[in-house]
A and B are shown apart, each in its own frame.
Chain A
Amino acid sequence: MPDETKSPSQHPPQGDSKPSAEKPAAPATPPKPAAVATPAAKPAAAPPKAPVPTPTPWDSPMIAKLRRTYGSGIEPLTYAGQNYIVVDRSLIPELLYVLRNEEKFDYCVDITAVHYPQREKQFDVIWVLYSFPRNERIRVKAQIADGATLPSSVPVWPAANWLEREVYDMFGIKFEGHPDLKRILLPDGWQGHPLRKDYGILQQDNQWVQINLGIESGQ
């Protein structure tokens, strides 16, 4: 029990020093082309045996087709044998429709987000897609700014309903046109969105103790 309470308190309650101090610009680099990522990631692996893997471009008939339509709006990358496409936010509903209807990505596995507070466009929103006919997995990634919205993909895949609600609950990203966008795992009256990096893990606890017990939290 003492271990459990002590280890979180090493991080300040607001938690915003953690991403800036311990986690420098490295997370911002993977989506960028290899030239930028290599120098930033190299010092991490001091033993020279294995070269540091970096995302590299990939190509396929599907990508060639998408490139003809969308040009530089899409950036296909591969990392650790897994393919993903970084796309411009403006392409979002359209490209998802194309992937489902024409490229047969009929199964929306997951929708999630990652928060990079030091970036101008703070959020990566990620769709993990799978195609039953092709037995192929792909990820679509778009960057959006804090407060910006995304069109809902519930009309594309009904499975997106709860997944988008969870992204809203945890990150505060709103999906336009979602049939019932409300919190899903946390109670309706909850303050803040916990998976943002600036949401400290003691914040809610301190608040509850202050309001309900009228004392300062002992943590």
Chain B
Amino acid sequence: MTNQNTLSHVDLETPEKPFLDANELVINMGPQHPATHGVLRVILRLDGEKVLGLECVIGYLHRGVEKIGEHRTYTMFNPYVDRMDYVAAVSNGLGYCETVEKLLNVEAPPRAQHVRVILTELNRIASHQLWLGTHALDIGAITPLFYTFRDREEILKIYEKYCGARLTTHAFRIGGLQYETYAGFEKEVKNFLNFFRPKIDEYEELLTTNRIWLERTKGVGKISAQDCIALGVTGPVLRASGMKWDLRKAQPYACYKNFDFEIPIGQNGDTYDRYLVRMVEMRQSVRIIEQALGALPEGPIMAKVPKVMKPPAGEVYHSIEAPKGELGYFIVSDGSTQPYRVRVRPPSFVNLQALDLMCRGQLVADVIAVIGTLDIVLGEVDR
């Protein structure tokens, strides 16, 4: 039995000593603050401009989603999961539906799986676009926000045509899909891909070699792969630290094993690398959607599932690679129509834990950059 703390270089219990016995300053940031992406409150301990340590206060958006789940049937709870990570609602739905399908021991038919992959990857692009726009805005670049929101609109239009909703889509059903794709769906998605590919270059032109962007992001909020693993940080943050790990490859779900795509990784684990990783991820999503469209099979869109769902008693944990990291559902069934327990393992909640470590020794302005680069959604942190 060892007692070593696996975090490499920082003792998170005690803040760093102030420089030259200066007075330590405690200031409050949020919960109502434009750069905290919702209602995150951060208590900063400062030595001048230098961050000695910080504490996150969360829960302002807590709606008791897990408790609600115990009082709804499996079908009724499905729309609720969209409200957690509301910028990537489709991914939330995919994770939930697949978990209940595991409990029911059914599998969605191939056509449904392909449509699911297309919509989920579109959602990954939309989520990354929103991240890029707001993150750049926080740091001071206003233009990318208009570019990304302009292009994100095209994805939302596809969602609206497909299921009537733009954000909280409730696109999937347990066992497959409720709606067949509309006439012209494939063509519109293809058009979007052709429209979007040069747009990524446009974003990169604005930022990748921009001197201000480099100064504000290079070397800011560094985290090593080892610390990421110790703190349970997943998603683009882990990949930017040099760890080649993506659940779509490591433990493929839906029909991801049919598609050929790369996992981008960074080297330094700083804000700039995380930016690059997410940019490449958007390109890879385009690749996946293209392949899925090409291989879109005909056939049923719904597996045989009973109208009244009563999964046999048992428990299942299933997770997917959401745009922000590993999104897991742990569902316990007791054989009745309602889940006995629904646990959501949100990527944002766990990733936010690393904020303290990433901000130590940085400036106050960098805290804003690090919150942006972690890509948290408070609806998912607080549930």
**A residues within 8 Å of B by Cβ?**
7-8, 11, 22-23, 26-27, 29-30, 37, 40-41, 44-45, 50, 52-55, 79-80, 82, 93-94, 97, 101, 106-110, 112, 114-115, 126, 128, 132, 135, 137, 139, 155-159, 161-163, 170, 179, 183-187, 194-195, 201
B210 beta carbon closer than 8 Å to chain A: no
User: Among the interface residues B231, B313, B328, B341, which one has the most CB atoms of the partner chain A within 10 A?
Assistant: B313
Q: Is the interface of B mostly helix, strand, loop or mixed?
A: loop
The 5 closest A-B pairs by CB, nearest first: A159-B232, A185-B59, A44-B335, A27-B334, A110-B345
- Find out whether the CB atom of A79 lies under 8 angstroms from the CB atom of B316: yes
A41 and B12 form a contact (CB under 8 A)? no
* B interface residues, how many (CB within 8 angstroms): 51
**Most-contacted residue by chain A among B59, B230, B316, B334 (CB, 10 A):** B334
Cβ-defined contact, B250 with A161, below 8 A: no
With contacts A112-B343, A157-B232 known, is A128 near B105, CB below 8 A? no
Are B231's CB and A159's CB within 8 A? yes
A109 and B312 contacting across the interface, CB-CB below 8 Å: no
Contact at A80–B102, with CB atoms within 8 Å?
yes
Q: How far is the CA of A194 from the CA of B71 in the complex (A)?
A: 13
| Bound complex: CA A11 to CA B70 (Å) | 12
Flag if B67 contacts A194 (CB, 8 Å).
yes
A93 contacts which chain B residues (CB < 8 A)? 1
CB within 8 Å: A-B pair count: 134
Contact A45 B340 (CB under 8 A): no
Contacts A114-B332, A126-B330, A139-B317 given; indicate if A159 touches B353 (C-beta within 8 A).
Answer: yes
Alpha-carbon separation in the docked complex, A45 to B333 (Å): 13
A residues within 8 A CB of B336? 22-23, 26
List residues of chain A with CB within 8 A of the CB of B62: 185-186
Give the A-binding residues of B (Cβ under 8 A): 1-3, 5-7, 12-13, 58-59, 62, 64, 66-67, 71, 102-103, 105, 229-232, 243, 245, 250-251, 310, 312-317, 319, 326, 328, 330, 332, 334-336, 340-341, 343, 345, 349-350, 352-353, 382-383
CB distance from A196 to the nearest CB of B (A): 10
A22-B336, A110-B328 known; 9 other A-B pairs, CB under 8 Å?
A: A7-B71, A27-B334, A110-B317, A132-B229, A137-B251, A155-B5, A156-B6, A158-B5, A162-B349
**Which residue of A has the minimal Cβ distance to B356?**
A161
Residue in A23, A29, A110, A132 whose CB lies within 8 Å of B343: A110
Does A11 lie within 8 Å of B230, measured CB to CB?
A: no
- Interchain Cβ contacts under 8 Å between A and B, 24 examples: A7-B71, A23-B334, A26-B335, A27-B340, A29-B313, A30-B313, A53-B314, A79-B315, A94-B1, A97-B2, A110-B328, A110-B330, A112-B343, A128-B317, A132-B229, A157-B230, A158-B231, A159-B230, A159-B231, A161-B353, A162-B350, A162-B352, A163-B232, A163-B350
Give CA–CA (A163, B233) in the complex, Å. Answer: 13
- Measured CB to CB, the nearest residue on chain A to B330 is A112
A26 in contact with B313 (CB, 8 Å) = yes
Q: Which residues of A contact B317 (CB under 8 A)?
A: 82, 110, 128, 137, 139
Provide the bound-state CA to CA distance between A155 and B105, in Å. 37
List of B residues within 8 angstroms of A41 by Cβ: 312-313, 335
> Provided the pairs A82-B316, A101-B2, A162-B350 are in contact, do residues A201 and B343 lie with their beta carbons within 8 angstroms?
no
> Is the beta-carbon distance between A23 and B3 smaller than 8 angstroms?
no
B312 — which chain A residues lie within 8 A by C-beta? 41, 44-45, 52-53
- Of chain B, the residue at the smallest CB distance from A141 is B315
